[in-house]
A = this chain, B = another copy of it.
Amino acid sequence: MIPRYSRPEMARIWEPENRFRIWFEIEAHACDAQAELGVIPKEAAKAVWERGKWEIERIDAIERETKHDVIAFLTNLAEYVGPEARFVHQGMTSSDVLDTCLAVQMKQASELLLADLDALLAALKRRALEHKMTPTIGRSHGIHAEPTTFGVKLAGHYAAFDRARQRLLAARDEIATCAISGAVGTFANIDPAVEAHVAKKLGLKVEPVSTQVIPRDRHAMFFAVLGVIASSIENLSTEIRHLQRSEVREAEEYFSPGQKGSSAMPHKRNPVLSENLTGLARIVRAAVTPALENVTLWHERDIAHSSVERVFGPDATIALDFALARLTGMIDKLIVYPEAMQANLDRYTGLVHSQRVLLALTQAGLSREDAYQAVQRNAMKVWLEGKDFLTELMADPSVSAKISKAALAECFDLGYHFKHVDTIFRRVFGG
C-alpha cells in the first residue's frame, strides 16, 4: 500500500523484520518440540534460541541465487547458529513456515483492526449520545420522509460496526491456525506434537488437515469480512457526503485552518475525507474476488495464491486500518449543525406528518384508500405549490368531516416521533 494510506503499526506487520521474526519463532519452537521428542539434541534447540540471528540484506542476497526465500533464511540462520543448524526445519516444508507465519500476521492485523473498530465504536457512541434527541429529517430515496434524530442515525451505524466487530472476531479465529505437517500434510517426517507445540506458543489452533498448505477458504473468508466492513465504511461516508452538500449542510467534516479546499475556488469546503473513504472502500473490496479465486488449488497445493496474498494481505489490511482511523477522526470532529437540521425538517411545512394524518383518518373511520387519496391530494399542494399542509387539511371538507382541527393539529407534534428513541438506544448500547 502506498504511504499515503498507510499507518506505521499496521505496515510493520508486513515488513521483513516482523516476517523473519515470526519465521524464527516457528523454527525455534519446532526445535524445542523436536528436542522434547528426542528427534534432535536439546542443545541444538538451545543453540537456535541463543545464537539465532539473521540479516535482511544477507537473506536477500542468498535468495537472489536460490530463488527460494525460506531456504535463503535458513541458510543465513545457519551462518549464525553453526553446525546445530542442521537440526532446524527437520521434517518441515517451506509452507509450514510461510503459512503459519501468514496466520500470525493476519492475527496481528486483526488485533489492530479490532482496536480500530473499538475506537470507531467509541466515537460513534459518543456522538450518538450527544445527538440522541437532535431532530433531523429522515429521508428515503433522498426525499423527506418523517422525522428521526441524528443520534438514531449514528446508532444505526454503531450497530453496523458492532456487527463488523463480531464478524472480524470470527474471521480472526478462523484464520489463526498453525500447520506443521510436512510435505503433503501427512506428518511423515514430523510428529503432530511439534505442530501442537508451535500452535500453542503462537496462540494458534492446529489446522486439522493441511495439505502442505492451510486451506485458502479461511483466507477468502477473512478478506470477505474486510470487504463487508469496507462497505459499511462507504455507507457511513456517503451519509456524511450527503449531509455536507451545499443544499443540505447539516454536518461538515472538520476543516483545519491551513487547509485549502480548491486551488481555483477559495470558498469551498469539500467532504474530501469521506469521499476518500469511498475510494478506500473500493480498494479493500478489490481483495475479495482474488481471495475467492485463491481457494482453488491444484491437488495438495500450488503457489498461485502466493502473489495475491503478498499484495493484498498488506494492502487490504493497511487500507482498512487507515480508513477506520480516518473515519474515527472524521466522526470525532464532525461539525454538526442542529439548526440546519431543524430548518430542513421544516422545509415542507408539515408534510413529514402526512402518515400520522393518514393513520388518524383511518382510525376515524375512513377507508385506507380514501384516506390515502385525501392525504396525497393535500400533500401535493404543499409539494408543488408550497402551501401549508395543516391549513390545507383543515380546509378539506372530506378531512374535516372526520377529524377535528384540534386533533389534526396534534398530528403535527414532533415529539410524537421520538418516543421510542430510548428503546432503540437501549437495543444498541444496552443499559
Q: Is the CB of A292 within 8 A of B140?
A: no
Q: Is the CB of A211 within 8 A of B138?
A: yes
Q: Is the CB of B235 within 8 A of A428?
A: no
Q: Which residues of B contact A306 (CB under 8 A)?
A: 275-276, 279
- A345-381 interface (Cβ within 8 A of B): 347-348, 351, 354-356, 358-359, 362, 366-369, 372-373, 375-376, 379-380
CA of A56 to CA of B427 in the docked complex: distance in angstroms? 38
- A283-331 interface (Cβ within 8 A of B): 283, 285-290, 292-308, 310-312, 314-315, 319
Q: Is the CB of A217 within 8 A of B239?
A: no
Stretch at the interface among A45-53, A109-117, A260-268, A399-407: A260-268
Stretch at the interface among A17-25, A100-108, A244-252: A244-252
How many whole Å from A86's CB to the nearest CB in chain B? 5
A178 at the interface (CB under 8 A from B): no
CA of A224 to CA of B373 in the docked complex: distance in angstroms? 43
Shortest 3 CB-CB contacts between residues of A and residues of B: A267-B379, A138-B184, A142-B245
Q: If the complex has contacts A228-B220, A242-B142, are A208 and B428 also in contact, measured as CB distance less than 8 A?
A: yes
A145 at the interface (CB under 8 A from B): yes
Taking a contact as CB atoms closer than 8 A, the residue among B66, B188, B239, B368 that contacts A85 in the complex is: B368
Q: Is the CB of B66 within 8 A of A258?
A: yes
CA of A239 to CA of B372 in the docked complex: distance in angstroms? 31
Q: Is the CB of A292 within 8 A of B231?
A: yes
A163 at the interface (CB under 8 A from B): yes
Q: Is the CB of B276 within 8 A of A138?
A: no
Q: Which residues of B contact A67 (CB under 8 A)?
A: 256, 258-260
Size class of the A contact interface (CB-based, 8 Å) = 35 or more
Q: Is the CB of B428 within 8 A of A228?
A: no
A200 at the interface (CB under 8 A from B): no
How many whole Å from A420's CB to the nearest CB in chain B? 4
A209 at the interface (CB under 8 A from B): yes
What is the 8 Å Cβ interface bit string for chain A, positions 123-146, against chain B (1 contact, 0 not)? 000000000000001111111111
A7 at the interface (CB under 8 A from B): no
Q: Is the CB of A215 within 8 A of B156?
A: yes
Q: Is the CB of A295 within 8 A of B185?
A: no
Q: Is the CB of B145 within 8 A of A184?
A: yes
Q: Which residues of B contact A80 (CB under 8 A)?
A: none
How many whole Å from A310's CB to the nearest CB in chain B? 6
CA of A296 to CA of B185 in the docked complex: distance in angstroms? 29
Copies held by the complex: 4
Which residue of B is nearest A174, CB measured?
Answer: B163
How many whole Å from A60's CB to the nearest CB in chain B? 10
The secondary structure that dominates the A interface is: helix
Q: Is the CB of B289 within 8 A of A288?
A: yes
Q: If the complex has contacts A140-B270, A140-B302, A265-B145, are A295 and B228 also in contact, measured as CB distance less than 8 A?
A: yes
Taking a contact as CB atoms closer than 8 A, the residue among B285, B301, B421 that contacts A292 in the complex is: B285
Q: Is the CB of A93 within 8 A of B262?
A: yes
A-B contact pairs, 5 of them (CB 8 A): A1-B311, A140-B268, A266-B358, A266-B372, A279-B304
A241 at the interface (CB under 8 A from B): yes
Q: Is the CB of A302 within 8 A of B141?
A: yes
How many whole Å from A403's CB to the nearest CB in chain B? 15
A218 at the interface (CB under 8 A from B): yes
Q: Is the CB of A416 within 8 A of B263?
A: no
Q: If the complex has contacts A295-B232, A344-B247, are A217 and B376 also in contact, measured as CB distance less than 8 A?
A: no
A424 at the interface (CB under 8 A from B): yes
CA of A361 to CA of B229 in the docked complex: distance in angstroms? 48
- A202-224 interface (Cβ within 8 A of B): 206, 208-209, 211-212, 215-218, 220-221, 224
Q: Which residues of B contact A382 (CB under 8 A)?
A: 267
Q: Is the CB of B264 within 8 A of A94?
A: yes
What is the 8 Å Cβ interface bit string for chain A, positions 37-75, against chain B (1 contact, 0 not)? 000000000000000000000000000011110110011
Question: Which of A206, A248, A303, A367 lies at the interface centre, i.e. has the most chain B CB atoms within 10 A of its CB?
Answer: A303
A26 at the interface (CB under 8 A from B): no
What is the 8 Å Cβ interface bit string for chain A, positions 167-193, against chain B (1 contact, 0 not)? 100100010000000111111110110
